[in-house]
């Protein structure tokens, strides 16, 4: 079976789960609040999301992992690319604030600037 997708923050959550499983969801909420800074609702949302994805199961408020740490590590952890902001601005505001994606030449020029500075040429 293909290992389900796990995002980085979910992986951090799973680390807590693997350490303590089987664990009551209310205890998991307390642990996540301390170690991850999560609100209870966030923890419950993540539990639900991961159980839908088959990463864990939540039976009678007891949470157990369905995949092992090794399986998860073997799978690539996805870096989610956030696209939500794009296009959320009216074009005319974007025209003000948008900076052209840095070009190769500009990147090189700025890098050269820093390198020269490091060498004390400035």
Confirm or reject binding of residue 91 to other proteins (CB under 8 A).
no
Q: List the interface residues with other proteins, window 31-90 (CB under 8 A).
A: 35-39, 41-42, 45-46, 78-86, 88-89
Find the shortest distance in angstroms from Cβ 109 to other proteins.
7
Among 5, 9, 22, 52, binds other proteins (CB under 8 A): 9
Distance (Å, rounded) from C-alpha 55 to C-alpha 43?
Answer: 14
Q: Which is nearer to other proteins, 70 or 79 (CB)?
A: 79
Helices (H) and strands (E) in the chain, counts: 6, 3
Q: Is residue 11 exposed (0-12), middle (13-18) or buried (19+ Cβ within 10 Å)?
A: middle
Tell me whether strands 23-24 and 56-59 are parallel, antiparallel or unpaired.
Answer: unpaired
Scanning the structure block, which residue is given the tokens 């992992």? 65
User: Where on the chain is the footprint of other proteins (CB under 8 A)?
Assistant: 7-10, 12-13, 35-39, 41-42, 45-46, 78-86, 88-89, 93-94, 96-99, 101-102, 106-107, 109-111, 113-114, 117-118, 120, 122
């Amino acid at each position: 079976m293909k290992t389900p997708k796990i995002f980085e923050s979910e992986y951090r959550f799973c680390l807590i789960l693997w350490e303590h499983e089987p664990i009551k969801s209310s205890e998991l909420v307390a642990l996540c609040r301390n170690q991850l800074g999560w609100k209870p609702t966030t923890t419950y949302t993540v539990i639900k999301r991961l159980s839908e994805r088959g990463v864990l199961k939540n039976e009678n408020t007891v949470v157990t992992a369905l995949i092992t740490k090794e399986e998860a590590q073997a799978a690539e952890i996805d870096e989610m690319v956030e696209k939500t902001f794009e296009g959320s601005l009216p074009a005319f505001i974007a025209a003000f604030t948008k900076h052209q994606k840095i070009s190769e030449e500009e990147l090189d020029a700025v890098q050269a600037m820093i390198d020269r500075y490091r060498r004390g040429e400035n």
